[in-house]
Amino acid sequence: MTLEEKAAQAGYAAPAIPRLGIPAYNWWNEGLHGVARAGVATVFPQAIGMAASWDVPLMHRVASTISTEFRAKYAATVRPDGSSDWYRGLTVWSPNINIFRDPRWGRGQETYGEDPYLTSRMAVAFITGLQGDDPRYFKTIATAKHFAVHSGPESTRHRVDVRVSPHDLEDTYLPAFRAAVTEAKVQSVMCAYNAVDGAPACANDALLQQYLRRDWGFKGYVVSDCGAAADIYLPPGEGHHYAPNPQVAVAEAFKAGMDLICGDYRHHWNMEADAIVAAVREGLLQESVLDRSLRRLFEARIELGMLDPPSDDPYVRIPASDNDTPAHQAVARRMAEESLVLLRNAGHLLPLRRTPHSIVVIGPDADSVDALVGNYNGTPSHPVTVLAGIRARFPQAAVTYVQGSGLIDAGPPGPDPLAAARHADLVVVVDGLSPRIEGEEMKISAPGFFGGDRTNLDLPAPQRTLLQKIEALGKPTVLVLMNGGALSVDWADRHVPAIIEAWYPGEQGGAAVAALLAGDFSPAGRLPVTFYQSVDQLPPFGDYSMANRTYRYFHGEPLYPFGYGLSYTTFKYGDPRVIRAGAGASEEVDVSVDVANTGAMAGDEVVQLYLTHPGVIGAPMLALKGFSRIHLSRGEKKSVRFRLRSRDLSVVDESGTRRIVPGNVDVWIGGGQPLTRPGLAHAAGVRTRFLLTRAAVLPD
């Protein structure tokens, strides 16, 4: 290739080189919870909702289904010369495994929540599902993003320099990325917009060389977030101004380990073609460094089968028709059901004991497809809103719909919701947020919202006011929340009998909610984030210290704790057992427990294992280190076993070193955290303890 041809291949829209038989390829494809931006596809629950399932095997199945639909789209659009359209390729810029450290972040909906361990397990399942298990070819290539220490605010993401302690970096912000590389063997990583400790993430040698390639052995390619390469040189107020011009910026990025530029949508869409050539010719960037990146990029295309005879690639046999199939829609329905979290059920209002004669459905999200699909989404062929789901599940009932209010304003004029509610046997209020008011770098400024983020955690005022008026009628009322991040519904928790957290539940979300109301299954979703009582309990949004953040370090009283969720049945835990193996850095501990369904119906239980290291500096107050979602028939008992390896048993000291520290380790195994606020249902569970006897320092 000529230098100009090489430079062009380092951009996300790589042109064809006919004389070398290289087809054009667009690297940019989105698949956060289904094939996105490519027309009709199966739309699964938003990522935060899938995390609420706590179901690793199902997450793997979802990702495998998504990759099948990517292959189907590719088969339908690939041209005779091997080129394909934007958003219809095989390199998927998902998952987002940033830590949802602050509920104000509008993009937190794209993540797997606030906990490094839960995020790691979900990330590994999703990545391996996307990439497939063929020994020679990848089904698709996953991209772990955004590396690293990235979680808002959206309004400053292009210019902020995040200063993070060594402890928080190793303890919170890096573990999911490490697992993605060392366990899931992810083949692509996206570097973030922000700087970390003085260096932009896409030109950060410590992140891209020390951690990613040297310590973790990453062999794939690094792609910039879209515009992040230009942020390296853009002036203060727009970017980091870390470099004086584009050619120095790309030189610093490629030397640090970035391989592919997603062009800047604000200034220099084709900066790679001009700036890379200039950097080489001015002696700022050795051409061999560019060659290194191109080798990584073409290895990925070869391993996707793009440059080999089709007969060699087993995934070529996936037909264009294998998209949005009934089987795939059934997986979306199951994940939607598993993602629902029952937050409150006073007086056992749910499940409904009999079909109501009349149901009124009220709220701005009740008949909203936007509230089903979230962001980075595909187009569902047959979306089922909550209103549609209730009408289908309760055909004998007279179902009335009144929007009642807008998301953040009074909304359009319409029938009086209070009059409708006054004559109903059941009121279902579907409130919350929408990807139109929370999300990525949005131009929105309204009470409670700014730039895609939130400035408080309350229900928007018009919805809150209407909910209070409805509750005053004294009717049996269910509040269904649809949102990407935690809401401070403390008033509702005191007054509304039943509350369901539905997230953005995907194309089958309304059917899942209706089935939950009817008692077709027992809910077992668990919160992947803490629900705080108020934004006043949180540190400043821009502060990346983990002090007083998330359940691991929060000293206050939450509204609903991480890991929380109610069931229609009951469980009993007993007979915890501990078996030791190894010592020091190779120490392992097996912990098992018996779990029995003691209630009146079959159901799933999410068995959660938490560790506490009493008196150890740097250790979280409580840390999830194991979980398993199990199904138990009525009266059935199962033994659940967890293997705790050295990293699970370790803590991070203030220097960022991961250590095994001798001393007692307290263990809680149950259906949630061991402690909750007064008045909140306590999870069943048991305690045990074991002793770590030898100190050790763990390798990176």
Active site residues: 225, 438
Is residue 635 within 8 Å of 597, Cβ to Cβ? yes
H or E, element range at 331: helix 326-339
Find out whether the peptide bond into 146 is cis, omega within 30 degrees of 0: yes
Q: How distant is the alpha carbon of residue 300 from its chain centre?
A: 25
Q: Hunting for tokens 């495994």 — which residue is that?
A: 97
Tokens 């041809």: give the residue: 5
Instruction: Spell out a b/e string for 20-45, using b for 16 or more CB atoms within 10 Å of the CB, else e.
Output: eebbbbbbbbbbbbbbbbbbebbbbb
Q: State how far the Cα of 240 lies from the Cα of 19, in Å rounded to an integer.
A: 40
Of residues 227, 514, 257, 211, the one with CA closest to residue 390? 514
Beta partners for 562? Answer: none
Residues near 348 by beta carbon (within 8 Å), at least 6 away in sequence: none
Q: Which whole-number Å values give the CA distances from 160 to 154, 240, 615, in the listed order?
A: 10, 7, 35
CA distance 412 to 556: 40
Q: How far is CA 130 from the centre of its chain?
A: 15
Single out the residue of 448, 432, 407 nearest to residue 482, CA to CA: 432
Q: Record the tokens describing residue 236, joined without a space.
A: 């203060």
| CB of 509 closer than 8 Å to CB of 502 | yes
Q: Is the distance from CB of 147 to CB of 221 less than 8 angstroms?
A: no
Helix (H) / strand (E) element for 198: namely: none
Amino acid at 137: Y
Residues 6 or more apart from 141 whose CB is under 8 A from it?
90, 91, 92, 130, 131, 187, 188, 220, 300, 303, 304
SS3 391: helix
SS3 for 571?
A: strand
Backbone angles phi, psi at 572, to 5 degrees: -125, 135
